[in-house]
């Protein structure tokens, strides 16, 4: 399975520590301590490998679809006032990513990146409403022929790094990888009110595959 490149240092450290643990056990160093640590370090190394997995997705090609930018559980669908990029009232769809979810984010639709902003902040639990305003976050605005949309990567309680790939002015394709949040997080998607929402709170979303909304017929080129 493909791995996210941001995970390579963590994976390397995990594998080295696991190897040292088994070497200490084989050399009878540390007694019971090495016998306990070796399996624990191996489990940790395997978890790190699994956490940074970056599976390929079969991207739906039907026109007008808005795909999930993040993988996890839909925890909020509401009307909000987003003035920094959307310019007023819009729909927000929030997805909570646990440590067991794939943490690579994907573009919900094809478009041009014409807004990008990083904002430092707190590391409160990502499922809390205030996380959208208070936590460390990175916003990526996409201009599409059918309208604007905004993807916001939000750090969580144990997340300590947000990576955003596309530069301002860059074209992205639907389902293209656009970033990664390390170790538990949240992704908010902002779309125009006119677009039809096809998901509900509690739904399971798969990044780059699950349809969260549809652009209205009159807006879709």
pTM: 0.85
Is 58 inside a domain boundary? Answer: no
Closest C-alpha among 11, 4, 48, 55 to residue 179: 4
34, 98, 185, 200: the active-site residue: 185
Cα–Cα dist 44/60, whole Å: 35
Same domain, 25 and 110: no
Q: In what order do the strands lie in the sheet with 104-106?
A: 104-106, 177-181, 162-164
Closest C-alpha among 48, 38, 35, 47 to residue 18: 38
**Segment holding 148, helix H or strand E:** strand 147-155
String of DSSP letters for 170-191? -EE-TT-EEEEESSSEEEEEEE
Same domain, 28 and 83: no
Same domain, 29 and 69: no
Note whether 117 and 81 are within 8 A (CB). Answer: no
- List the CATH number of the domain containing 133: 2.70.70.10
For the chain, residues with pLDDT lower than 70 are 121-134, 156-160, 183-184, 217-221
Same domain, 89 and 194: yes
Active site residue 139: no
Q: Which domain holds residue 38?
A: 5-51
Is 42 inside a domain boundary? Answer: yes
Residues, the chain, total?
221
Is 219 inside a domain boundary? Answer: no
Domain total of the chain: 2
Is 18 inside a domain boundary? Answer: yes
What pLDDT shows up at residue 122?
A: 60
Is 182 inside a domain boundary? Answer: yes
Is 47 inside a domain boundary? Answer: yes
Is 174 inside a domain boundary? Answer: yes
Same domain, 149 and 88: yes
What pLDDT shows up at residue 220?
A: 43
Same domain, 47 and 72: no
What pLDDT shows up at residue 133?
A: 63
Same domain, 143 and 95: yes
Same domain, 42 and 87: no
**Segment holding 24, helix H or strand E:** helix 8-26
């Amino acid at each position: 399975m493909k791995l996210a490149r941001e995970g390579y240092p963590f994976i390397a450290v995990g594998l080295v520590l696991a190897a040292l643990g088994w070497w200490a056990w084989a050399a009878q160093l540390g007694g019971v301590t090495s016998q306990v640590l070796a399996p624990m370090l191996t489990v940790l190394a395997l978890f790190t490998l699994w956490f940074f997995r970056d599976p390929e997705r079969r991207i739906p090609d039907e026109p007008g679809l808005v795909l999930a930018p993040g993988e996890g559980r839909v925890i909020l669908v509401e009307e909000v006032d987003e003035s920094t990029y959307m310019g007023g009232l819009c729909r927000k769809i929030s997805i909570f990513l646990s440590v067991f979810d794939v943490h690579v984010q994907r573009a919900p639709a094809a478009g041009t990146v014409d807004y990008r902003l990083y904002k430092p902040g707190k590391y409160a639990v990502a499922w809390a409403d205030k996380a959208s305003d208070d936590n460390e976050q990175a916003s990526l605005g996409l201009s599409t022929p059918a309208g604007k949309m905004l993807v916001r990567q939000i750090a969580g309680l144990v997340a300590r790094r947000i990576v955003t790939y596309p530069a301002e002015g860059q074209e992205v394709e639907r389902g293209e990888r656009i970033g990664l949040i390390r170790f538990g997080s949240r992704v908010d998607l902002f779309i125009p009110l006119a677009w039809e929402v096809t998901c509900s709170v509690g739904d399971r979303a798969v990044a780059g595959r699950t349809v969260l909304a549809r652009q209205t017929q009159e807006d879709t080129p």
